Structure 1
Amino acid sequence: MPEARTYHGQCHCGAVRYEATTDLSSLADCNCSRCRRLGWIMQSLPAENFRLISGEDRLTLYHFNTMGIDHLFCATCGIESFARGHDGEGRELVMINVNCLEDAPPVDRAAISHWDGASF
């Protein structure tokens, strides 16, 4: 298993910035109507492994479908670099968009898990 490290992420304009500590071992994409259009590559991590550095005041909330995920995007550039929610046991988690990490290794889309969000 890869070793966890701290990555730095941001929206396109840089107003929203964060740090996320993860090992990037469970990358996934999703075929729901929203993720499919956005091209997200997701990595889930416990909320305590995420720190929003700047941009709380720039975040705009969007809910859809089950309303269970806080989709947060930058009000300036429109990029959703992370989302907040809970796992099946009620623990807080953050889903980061790996495409928004400044220092992540290249991702082979053929080697990641595929989540069938369209069936929810």
Structure 2
Amino acid sequence: MSGDEMVCSGGCHCGAVRFEATFSEGFASIRRCTCSYCRMRGAVVAMAEMGGIKILQGEDALTTYRFHTGTAQHFFCSRCGIYTHHQRRSNTNLYAVNVACLDGVSPFDFAEVPVMDGVNHTNDTGQPTRRAGTLRFIPAD
């Protein structure tokens, strides 16, 4: 693991679900995605490796959603509906964690967030993942 490894605590909106996530690259892996589901969800995520998410409370409150190929498994609090994390389709050894669920972190903390081309998913095209653009946040004065 690199020197950028960090452990963050987080949870859903209502507090039913609490977890701890270990990010081996800190927030160097943040991103958004253009697939139909991520477009609607709008979350900024950071990557945790398999075993890097520990549910501390409320595992019974988590529910899942799968679509298209059914490979990616998206986790939500069944009480407040907040998306906490998902197991990725392109690399099932990685979990994408919603940074807005991390204690003391906001998606608006990042001036630029890479946006990946999920419409033309690497598992569908056989091509490397393409960067579709960059989402920028410019605070008002």
TM-score by length of 2: 0.73
Structure 2 letter corresponding to 1:58: A
**Where does structure 1 differ by over 3 angstroms across 4 or more consecutive aligned residues?**
85-88
Give CA deviations for 1:33-84 in whole Å, capped at 9, x if unaligned: 2211111111112122221111110111110012111111111001111112
Structure 2: which amino acid aligns with 1:47?
A: M
Structure 1: stretches of 5+ with no match in the other structure: none
Provide the residue aligned with 1:21 in structure 2: 22
* Number of residue pairs aligned between Structure 1 and Structure 2: 116
| Alignment RMSD | 2.0
Q: CA deviation at 1:2?
A: 7.0
Gapped runs of 5+ residues in structure 2?
Answer: 122-141
Encode CA deviations 1:73-116: one digit per residue, 9 max, x unaligned.
1110011111124654x6x22110111111236122xx222111
The answer as to whether partners of 1:74 and 1:80 remain within 8 angstroms in 2 is yes
Higher helix share: 1
Kindly provide the amino acid, as one letter, of the partner of residue 39 in structure 2. R
Distance in 1 (CA, whole Å) between partners of 2:80 and 2:3 is 32
Q: Which has the larger radius of gyration?
A: 2
Q: Kindly, what percent of the aligned residue pairs are identical? A: 34
Provide the C-alpha distance between the structure 2 equivalents of 1:49 and 1:71, rounded to a whole number of angstroms. Answer: 16
Return the alpha-carbon distance in structure 1 between the equivalents of residues 88 and 33 of structure 2.
16
What CA distance in whole angstroms lies between the structure 2 residues aligned with 1:86 and 1:19? 22
Code of the aligned partner of 2:13: H
Aligned to 1:82: 85
**Residue in 2 that maps onto 1:115:** 116
SS of the residue 1:26 aligns to:
coil
Tell me the CA shift for residue 9 of structure 1.
Answer: 1.3
TM-score, with length taken from structure 1: 0.85
